[in-house]
Structure 1
Amino acid sequence: MDIPSQVGKRALVTGGTGGIGFETVVALAGAGAEVVVAGRGRAKVDQAVAAVREAVGTAKVEGLVLDLASLASIDGAASAVLAGGQPLDLLINNAGVMAVPERRETADGFELTFGTNHLGHFALTGRLLPALLAAPAARVVTVSAKVARNKGATLEDPLSAQSYGSGMASYTKSKLANVVFTLELARRAAGTRITAVAVHPGTSNTGLQQHLPKYMQVMASVVLERFVGQSPADAARPSLYAATNSGVKAGDFVVPDGRAELRGAPHVAEMPPAATDPAVGRRLWELSEQLTHVSYSFR
């Protein structure tokens, strides 16, 4: 993907050690950005940093250990970033978990999928807000999914055991929360230099399928790679478009333009209807602040 020069910009990509996140890192580094690769384990982070340097000889890249399922880890990682004193131009909230077969909890007792995919990124974005506000024109890109459009998708009781239902039900709630968060952040950041954008990357065979049964992983690999899906590099295009295109506006939703939004060139589409009610955004924001103990100050 031909993206504008990112020389002089600093980016942080969560889940940057593999899949779509890794391809996002490579593309941004190739365009000249300084990129922080965030991942859960030191070994995988170091491997990813080495792989980026091998792919892009001029890459300015560093690693950051970050576990979005731990508020303590988020606090430590954000403190390390802020200690550098540099503005943060791009925050790509890319990491996620999907289809966990049974209800699990984060280190802080939240349901794992919602706690990682939404609450973890909510807390991280809030903790990094000073660096984002210090940038000339920061973008916060949060990766959602097509399931946010599912009929009947709701954020009712997102953390209760009774509402877990299945791994995919929780994943759907978390991905709807991603776009609700984006719209509410866009409202609250109005008047600042922060642009909040959500993306749906399309369909690709990535590490997200690791919790599916083995036979479904095999089927997903064949179907996604040969028929309806796309490569992780192509699936990174909506995130890159949202992060770098000059025409993107706060509250946009960038998705593939192909059939059923499974693949194709990135373009701006309508938000899922369930995400657009400001009252839903306020409730989710207030709940997220209460649970994470992270408050946003835009001054």
Structure 2
Amino acid sequence: METGQRRTALVTGTGGIGFEVARALHSKGWAILLAGRDNERGTAACDRIAAEPGDGRVHFVPLDLANLASVANLANLLKAREQRLDVLVNNAGVTAGPVRQSTSDGFESQIGTNYLGHFALTGQLLPLLTRSSAPRVVSVTSLSSKSGVLDFEDFTMETRYNPIQAYSRSKLALLTFSLELQRRSLEQGWRVLSCAAHPGLSPTGILRGAIPSEGRRGAIQKLYKWIGHPPAAAAGSVVFAASSDEAEGGLQYGPSGLFGTKGKPKSVGVNKHARDLEAARRLWSMSQDLTGSPFP
């Protein structure tokens, strides 16, 4: 990262890991654009961050990743308003229950929000990223990507829906995309460093959509608190991937301790399916078709 110039980062997701990543980058003096669906919640998060030490600006920007029109609106707004974007953190995510839910574009909600929305956002912000002298895209994955499978015949689970598999697939797709973006960046001369990061386990609100029962969800949160780490620590691998000079493209970073559930950041392995070059190209092509070809 160059010195003497304030970095600008767009972080998706106003709570949990997204909030902590924005908070940590703001403390480094970065300018932060925090994106989310809820204006009131997002503005409150920005106010909390702005009240802490750090001289960078922090602003909320509206974004619904489950709506491709909203993704396009934000990209157009930023391209008109910002001189450049240095770092994009594709973090926001949802979980869902036993009944298949759809985005406004008809995709299964987890795949549509966690992956396809971020794919479209990255592509549409590419012109803004390439104005930076050292652009970077960090895609936030999950331990669950290890159990994910990319079924191209029923990618958005229109015929065979399983909520756990849908979430794992969305995170595997995001990881595969991150690696393919690095390859294409090198081939096309985009100069974008693309890497992935997962937070391990942390008691955030990510389970709210999958487990409506407060009692059951609370029990799982207690387990995550015991074997995982707090959100501020869990954000460490993402912050490292977004800001460290030691972070490299085409890698995934995650916690170093207790089977990847907690600990300091380090480079970690990836699902063998994410390293499948043919599958990565097929996923890219399918994603272009589904989202209206946001990449050149």
**Structure 2 equivalent of residue 145 of structure 1:** 142
CA contact (8 A) 1:198 1:254 kept: yes
Q: Does residue 61 of the first structure (1) align with residue 64 of the second (2)?
A: no
Name whichever of 259-268 and 184-193 sits farther off.
184-193
**Structure 2 equivalent of residue 219 of structure 1:** 219
TM-score, normalisation: structure 2: 0.94
**Structure 2 equivalent of residue 231 of structure 1:** 230
**Structure 1 equivalent of residue 176 of structure 2:** 180
Cα distance between partner residues in 1 of 2:222 and 2:254: 23
**Structure 1 equivalent of residue 269 of structure 2:** 270
Specify the SS of the correspondent of 1:257: strand
Cα distance between partner residues in 1 of 2:140 and 2:64: 17
Cα distance between partner residues in 2 of 1:176 and 1:6: 37
CA contact (8 A) 1:6 1:31 kept: no
Q: Deviations over 1:83-137 (max 9, x none)?
A: 1141111100000002433201111111110000000000000010001111001
CA contact (8 A) 2:175 2:196 kept: yes
Q: Does residue 42 of the first structure (1) align with residue 29 of the second (2)?
A: no
CA contact (8 A) 2:9 2:85 kept: yes
| CA shift for structure 1 position 33 | 0.5
Name whichever of 156-165 and 36-45 sits farther off.
156-165
Q: Deviations over 1:159-188 (max 9, x none)?
A: 1322322x1110000010011101111111
**Structure 1 equivalent of residue 252 of structure 2:** 253
Q: Deviations over 1:241-295 (max 9, x none)?
A: 1011112221110011001100000001122111101111111111111011033
TM-score, normalisation: structure 1: 0.93
| CA shift for structure 1 position 215 | 2.7
What amino acid is the match of 1:221? Q
What amino acid is the match of 1:131? L
Specify the SS of the correspondent of 2:263: coil
Cα pair distance change 1:239/1:7, threshold 3 Å: farther
**Structure 1 equivalent of residue 10 of structure 2:** 12
Specify the SS of the correspondent of 1:128: helix
Moved over 4 A (4+): 3-7
What amino acid is the match of 2:92? A
| CA shift for structure 1 position 192 | 2.9
Cα pair distance change 1:4/1:136, threshold 3 Å: closer
User: How many residue pairs get matched?
Assistant: 291
Cα distance between partner residues in 2 of 1:289 and 1:154: 16
CA contact (8 A) 1:7 1:31 kept: no
**Structure 2 equivalent of residue 118 of structure 1:** 115
Cα distance between partner residues in 2 of 1:130 and 1:61: 22
**Structure 2 equivalent of residue 196 of structure 1:** 194
Name whichever of 210-219 and 80-89 sits farther off.
210-219
**Structure 1 equivalent of residue 26 of structure 2:** 29
Name whichever of 187-196 and 24-33 sits farther off.
187-196
* Aligned counterpart for 1:162 among listed residues 159, 164, 168: 159
**Structure 2 equivalent of residue 286 of structure 1:** 285
Q: CA RMSD in A?
A: 1.7
Cα pair distance change 1:232/1:200, threshold 3 Å: same
CA contact (8 A) 1:255 1:267 kept: yes
Cα distance between partner residues in 2 of 1:5 and 1:32: 11
CA contact (8 A) 2:25 2:32 kept: yes
Specify the SS of the correspondent of 1:197: strand
Specify the SS of the correspondent of 2:262: coil
| CA shift for structure 1 position 214 | 2.5
Cα distance between partner residues in 1 of 2:44 and 2:231: 18
Specify the SS of the correspondent of 1:172: helix
Gaps of 5+ in 2: none
CA contact (8 A) 1:197 1:250 kept: yes
Identity in percent: 38
| CA shift for structure 1 position 57 | 5.5
CA contact (8 A) 2:176 2:275 kept: yes
